Amino acid sequence: MGIFNRNQPNDVLFLQPVRLTSEKTPRSKVRMLYCDTSGKVYSSMVSRSVYERARDNAASMAHRRKSFATIGLETGPGQFVPATVEVGQKEVWALEHILEHALNNGRLPDILKKYLKSIIRLNESERETIILEYRKRRRQPYPEVTPKVLERLPYYQEHDMEISMPIYKAEYGYPLIVLKRLPPEERVLHNTRRLLILDSDGDMAVIKVPTRLVRKIEIELTEHGGKKRGNTCVLISQYPEGYAPSYMSISHQQKKALDTLTRYFEETGSSKQPVSIAVKTVLTRAKDRVSSPAG
């Protein structure tokens, strides 16, 4: 009799990638926070291919402007195939609060548990088809991609930076606009710093970056401000080689609009607020700047 022999597989709800303090995660693995139908919260390693499939599925749903949840279909003890399902407004409300409680205390109140089973079972009829299709795709060879050589400043690799992503996003839109350097927390390593950022989609988040990157930004920001009058905002862009900072001059009105977003986050702790026209202008300019060969 096989070791995996249950009447009902333990499918789960994927929440978001996490990183434990001082943990060195293998490049082939990602630590995922998730919960099962009973409301128990766990974190364990999943293969990077599982994470990337979940990310790509979610990006497709986000592009079509659909609300979604990411499910882990259990194929063996601790082994999952990712599947993305469309959800309604009630489920969106539940998902946001499920993530909040999972991150803050690792426990879910009973009012949220009732949503879990219905969300996790949304694609039950297509379960076996999804698993078979995923396994088939994994057996297909992928062509090697040679990274482009970019004339940029030293890059900061993916494992050097950590972003707290909302459940409704697969990944952040780059470039990121740095709004403010946040004070350190006890749980943050001494060689990392926290930044409040605004991504290209207009969503705010807190990221952790190496201290050396913050120092580099502060030095170069001072030099940039000395050459050009007015306000300057910091952009963090993503390239095949890693992450790199750049700088863009903005108007006084645009600076005030970004400061308003920062104050809202500090006062409410919420990353959701309508983006003003001035902020949208900054976002558009930032995307144009980093996409331009002269940027």
Res. 164: pLDDT tops 70: no
- Residues 167 and 91 placed together within one structural domain of the fold: no
Classify residue 152: in a domain, yes or no: no
Q: How many C-alpha atoms does 178 have within 13 Å on its Cβ side?
A: 26
Same domain for 184 and 115, yes or no, is no
130 and 188 both lie in a single domain: no
Do residues 188 and 285 share a domain? yes
Q: Do residues 246 and 126 share a domain?
A: no
Indicate the number of domains in the chain: 2
Enclosing domain of residue 264:
158-291
The answer to the question of residue 143 being in a domain is no
> What tens digit of pLDDT does each residue of 233-272 get?
899 988 777 778 888 999 999 999 999 888 888 777 665 6
* Residue 34 maps to a domain: yes
Residues 287 and 162 in one domain: yes
Residue at 1 is within a domain = no
Q: What is the pLDDT of residue 138?
A: 65
Is 236 in the same domain as 169? yes
* End position of a domain, from candidates 138, 170, 201: 138
Is there a domain that residue 131 lies in?
yes
Q: Please tell me the pTM assigned to this model.
A: 0.48
- Is residue 255 one of the residues assigned to a domain? yes
* 30 and 86 together in one domain: yes
Give the model's pLDDT for residue 155: 46
pLDDT given at position 178: 93
Q: Please write the tens of the pLDDT for every residue from 175-210.
A: 999 998 888 765 545 678 888 899 888 888 888 888
Asked, for residue 153, whether it belongs to a domain, the answer is: no
Per DSSP, which regions of 68-203 are E strands?
68-76, 79-86, 162-163, 176-182, 192-198
Question: Do residue 195 and residue 252 come from a single domain?
Answer: yes
Q: Is 213 found in the same domain as 108? A: no
Q: Which two tokens stand for residue 228?
A: 């050009």
Mean pLDDT over 209-216 rounds to: 85
